[in-house]
Amino acid sequence: SYVLTQPPSVSGAPGQTVRITCGGNNIGGQPVHWYQKKPGQAPVLVVYDVFARPSGIPERFSGSSSGNTATLTISRVEDGDEADYFCQVWESSRNHQGVFGGGTKLSVL
């Protein structure tokens, strides 16, 4: 089955830009979606279809993808951005299944 690989953790000081990567075979050729997950809360969709943002999500959150890597970029990081972030694709080649990356813990220093 399709595997998505994320770094376990990233960190940045308030105001800095952080990038969270998601590696997968030819991930640049398919829609990638990103979720923010805080402890005890439901996940929140922050980017869909590689770079689109749902209403209410700040422009500080942006996405890109090329080749074997998708990236979530958070500009001007704030304390409230501290959370786990998960990338997700939909596998439809063999059977229809959702696939999540292992998640990346963002720590705001």
The reply to whether 88 sits near other proteins by the rule CB under 8 A is yes
Residue of 2, 48, 73, 75 that binds other proteins (CB under 8 A): 48
The reply to whether 37 sits near other proteins by the rule CB under 8 A is yes
Distance CA 32, CA 49 (A): 5
Residue of 2, 12, 21, 45 that binds other proteins (CB under 8 A): 45
Where does this chain bind other proteins (CB under 8 A)?
1, 30-31, 33, 35, 37, 42-45, 48-49, 54, 84, 86, 88-90, 92, 95-103
